[in-house]
Amino acid sequence: MPVGTLASVKGVPQDLLEELGVEILLSNTYHLFLRPGVETVRQLGGLHRFMSWDRAILTDSGGFQVFSLNELRKVSEEGVAFRSHLDGSARFLSPEKATEVQIGLGADIIMAFDECTEYPADAARARTSMELTLRWAKRCKSYFEEHKGEVPWGSGRQPSAVSHQDRHVPRPARDDQGDQTQGLFGIVQGGMDSALRRESAARTIEIGFPGYAIGGLSVGEPRELTREVVLSTLEHLPADRPRYLMGVGTPEEIAFYAQSGVDMMDCVLPTRAARHGLLFTSEGKVSIKQARYAQDESALDPACDCRVCRRYSRAYLRHLYAANELLAQVLNTVHNLHYYLATMRTVRSWIRGG
């Protein structure tokens, strides 16, 4: 899932995202909560209509961003008080509020409001944090069950135009009355402790969600530890529900985790790296700012058939980046997204082929 923080994948128009084969994108509740605000999006019919995007959208709960604010936040049983990074205004998110906001935004998949346990955390802290996330998960589900009919698209939103043949793009849910509703996913926490992760998984499954995410990773721990925790957690998640690994990762990592049973991943890496001139290619990473590319007439990635590699030279891309031209960010992002999506298509064909 490419990241479209503020209801836009930075620099890439929606028709180009469609052409790239993006089937689902992630948008950030925290950012949309501040700008343009949930009421605006709700009144405009929800995120899909607001950003003119018919395919699937997932919103995170805002928890991860709020916890990243460090000095600006205060956690209590009730929720998290924080100050906006934009204007310092006092704000509050709780399980109920985060769910309310996500219902208002109207994404296809929404996430439970969890506490992302920091790294490192000792055993006691990891347990306390996990228990809080479990209590919050129940509150999210209760709120959701009571309010799920309040989506801005009512029962009017049709299943998206995208084909849902691929298991990794979950179908929109239908509730008891047959109305289409959002899917609320639970999140497994538990720090880096396998036993806690297992317990978190079991108790989250007990609450019951249509999909499960593995959260609290990519928070500074070594890559090997991430892998260990992911693999040991995956075992305890039902294979017939989408399993979503949050915030991962490099092309190699997404290929590895997809083959290990992860169904969904999101990461800012392809888009953020692109804006910093770091490009992923079949021959490895290319830092396009380097002077060695100044007169390099070859395509960025000769094995790539994206619009950028078909048309422009490394020399031109290097010039655009060095001259701080807007087009550098557009073209670099298009290429990196294509590279990630092509990687996933390849992995899926491997999986289908056994």
Q: Does 12 bind a second copy (CB under 8 A)?
A: yes
Q: Which stretch binds a second copy (CB under 8 A): 106-114, 118-126, 238-246, 312-320?
A: 312-320
Cβ distance to a second copy smaller for residue 206 or 305? 305
SS (H, E, C) 35-96: CCCHHHHHHCCCHHHHHCCCCEEEECCCHHHHHHCHHHEEECCCCEEEECCCCCCEEEECHH
Cβ neighbours for 223, distance < 8 A, ≥ 6 positions apart: 253
Q: Which residues of 307-318 are buried (b: 16+ CB within 10 A; e: fewer)?
A: ebbeebbbebbb
Tokens representing 159 are 């299943």
Which of 50, 113, 143, 340 binds a second copy (CB under 8 A)? It is 50
Task: Calculate the alpha carbon distances from 291 to 214, 235, 301, 325 in Å.
Answer: 41, 47, 17, 16
Closest to a second copy by CB, 150 vs 325, is 325
Residues in 135-154 at the binding interface with a second copy, rule: CB under 8 A = none
Question: By CB under 8 A, which span of 42-50, 71-79, 183-191, 238-246 interacts with a second copy?
Answer: 42-50
Spot the catalytic one: 60, 108, 114, 263.
Answer: 60
Helix, strand, or coil here: 3? strand
Nearest residue (CB) to a second copy, 113 versus 293 = 293
Q: Using CB under 8 A, which of 329, 332, 336, 343 touches a second copy?
A: 329
326 binds a second copy (CB under 8 A): yes
Which of 4-12, 92-100, 127-135, 258-266 is the region at the interface with a second copy (rule: CB under 8 A)? 4-12
Contact 258, 265 (CB under 8 A): yes
**Could you list the residues that contact a second copy (CB under 8 A)?**
6-15, 35-36, 40, 43-44, 50-52, 294-295, 297, 307, 311-313, 315-316, 319-320, 322-323, 325-327, 329-331
